[in-house]
Amino acid sequence: MAKIYLLVAGVMLCSIPACPLDNKEIFIHLRRMKTIPSQSCLEHRHDFKFPWKRENISPIQMTQGTCYHQLMLQQIFNLFTMESSYATWNNTLLDKLLSSLGQSLEQLEEVTLDFPDLEITVWEYF
């Protein structure tokens, strides 16, 4: 089942402490969505190359983390806006999730507008 898929989306949403957004609403919507077979998610996986060790975060890394967070949210948003997502999940729950993701993306875009070169660097990294 796609519980792993939803878990990965949740981990990506809270893995970056750089931007303390209130993602509880997004997690609530993810929990309410029914699961699907994980095989249908395989082609949409993306390796974000995050290090697994814990370390102190510098202000520059925090800014980079915000940009990574925005990129991950955008990938999740893009995945759930695909036509196949509407065919698979409850449309009401999906619309609520997309609304929450959209609000989070708007908040992050305000932060990253101050660092336009950083976004290019992140895209090159992935």
3-state secondary structure of 58: coil
Provide CB contacts within 8 A for 69, sequence distance 6+: 16, 18, 19, 108
The residue whose two tokens read 């929450």 is: 100
The band of 88, judged by pLDDT with boundaries at 50, 70 and 90, is: confident
Domain residue ranges in the chain: 3-40+58-125
> 89, 33 in Cβ contact below 8 A?
yes
pLDDT band at 1 (very low <50, low <70, confident <90, very high): very low
CATH class of 3-40+58-125: mainly alpha
Overall average pLDDT of the 101-120 stretch: 70
Q: Mean pLDDT over residues 41-60, rounded?
A: 58
